[in-house]
Amino acid sequence: MAAATPLLKDELDIVIPTIRNLDFLEMWRPFFQPYHLIIVQDGDPSKIIKVPEGFDYELYNRNDINRILGPKASCISFKDSACRCFGYMVSKKKYIYTIDDDCFVAKDPSGKDINALEQHIKNLLCPSTPHFFNTLYDPYRDGADFVRGYPFSMREGAPTAVSHGLWLNIPDYDAPTQLVKPHERNTRYVDAVMTIPKGTLFPMCGMNLAFDRDLIGPAMYFGLMGDGQPIGRYDDMWAGWCTKVICDHLGLGIKTGLPYIWHSKASNPFVNLKKEYNGIFWQEEIIPFFQAATLSKECTTVQQCYLELSKQVKEKLSKIDPYFTKLGDAMVTWIEAWDELNPTGDNLAKLSIADGPAKTKK
């Protein structure tokens, strides 16, 4: 069983996008059961998703999303795990952990089950070091510290906004690499957590990811993917590029490394190739765009940053494909929907939030 008092029990939601029964939760029971789950059902809304007994959850299918967001539901992808970001939006908690339903509990080298969620919480609750590299990895970890030559003025670090966990067994490869190396498995347990330095982009995977909603939530939009869109499997990448640029601008940190989960099954590389091929091509221009992107000093909230970025996306990426005009508009819709569901003191009065989830079980 989990520790007597699970960390952040009432401050964290676990968001799971799915199209099937959630049997995978059985293995996670000792670690997840104390927490509230937000299940985002993708695909056919008439299908019944079974959730193992004893879990506290709310579930949203496409009908719920349409009902709650109205016309703004257009910004939430359908038939793609990008739909998970709806769960980030309806959460009322400070922290989110999101995990795919083909991810299981991994073991550390001593054979012990890894409580991935606990490690993510540790990562989020201690600072990051984006402004200078520490060669002994996370300096805040037990048995480690800042090495000689690390400026003392930088040792307070920056607030950690994102914790990016990794995967044993099936690595997160693109379709071409899957095709070339169908049998490659990740067996290397690297016992490290590190901060991704300021100014450096990284490929953020949504399979095993935690973040601080208050610090960075509105940047965690997973884009327009799947049904009716010319691209898939770039949802988390898109969120990662935007998030990194905004974290750098706002002085927030992103950690990667521990914890590992056990990724059980490679998705079909032929299907993936079809989803990815535009992205593989487009990312050659998208990444230089994000590498060069700067935000004006006036942008002091995540929302302001995100709206400024949406303008730049439309201006600079629409020449690649008209898709980016649509995506830029969807980014604006996402922020409008976010603010509607997450009213602050300012806009609380104006709002009437739509109905709650279809199915809640406590």
Question: Binding residue for its own copies (CB under 8 A) from 63, 70, 133, 343?
Answer: 133
What amino acid is encoded at 191 in this protein? D
Among candidates 270, 317, 333, 278, which has minimal Cα distance to 77?
Answer: 333
Alpha carbons 18 and 24: distance in angstroms, whole number: 11
Give the relative orientation of helices 323-341 and 302-317 as an angle to the nearest 10 degrees: 170
Provide, rounded to whole angstroms, the least separation between the CB of residue 308 and its own copies.
22
Among candidates 184, 191, 173, 169, which has minimal Cα distance to 263?
Answer: 169
**39 is a contact residue toward its own copies (CB under 8 A):** no
**171 is a contact residue toward its own copies (CB under 8 A):** yes
Question: Binding residue for its own copies (CB under 8 A) from 3, 179, 190, 354?
Answer: 190
What's the CA dihedral at 8, 215, 217, 358 to 10 degrees? 40
**100 is a contact residue toward its own copies (CB under 8 A):** no
Provide, rounded to whole angstroms, the least separation between the CB of residue 91 and its own copies.
25
Among candidates 32, 69, 68, which has minimal Cα distance to 52?
Answer: 32
**205 is a contact residue toward its own copies (CB under 8 A):** yes
Question: Binding residue for its own copies (CB under 8 A) from 2, 280, 332, 358?
Answer: 280
Question: Binding residue for its own copies (CB under 8 A) from 191, 265, 294, 322?
Answer: 191
Stretch that binds its own copies, among 22-30, 113-121, 134-142, 318-326 (CB under 8 A): 134-142
Let me know how long the chain is.
Answer: 362
Structure tokens given for 26: 């059985």
Among candidates 16, 12, 25, which has minimal Cα distance to 54?
Answer: 25
Alpha carbons 362 and 14: distance in angstroms, whole number: 14
Stretch that binds its own copies, among 62-70, 231-239, 314-322, 351-359 (CB under 8 A): 231-239
Question: Binding residue for its own copies (CB under 8 A) from 52, 127, 203, 230?
Answer: 203
**26 is a contact residue toward its own copies (CB under 8 A):** no
Degrees (nearest 5) of the Cα angle 332, 338, 158?
95
Residue 76's region, left for phi above 0, alpha for psi from -120 to 50, else beta, is beta
Degrees (nearest 5) of the Cα angle 283, 285, 290?
85
Question: Binding residue for its own copies (CB under 8 A) from 45, 52, 127, 197?
Answer: 197
**319 is a contact residue toward its own copies (CB under 8 A):** no
Nearer to its own copies, 36 or 198 (CB): 198
Instruction: Look at the block and give the residue holding tokens 């520490």.
Output: 134
Question: Binding residue for its own copies (CB under 8 A) from 150, 273, 320, 332?
Answer: 150
**255 is a contact residue toward its own copies (CB under 8 A):** no
**102 is a contact residue toward its own copies (CB under 8 A):** no
Question: Binding residue for its own copies (CB under 8 A) from 27, 144, 273, 320?
Answer: 144
Contacts with its own copies by CB under 8 A lie at 109, 132-137, 143-153, 164, 166, 171-174, 176-177, 181, 184-192, 196-205, 233-234, 236-237, 240, 256, 280, 283-284, 287
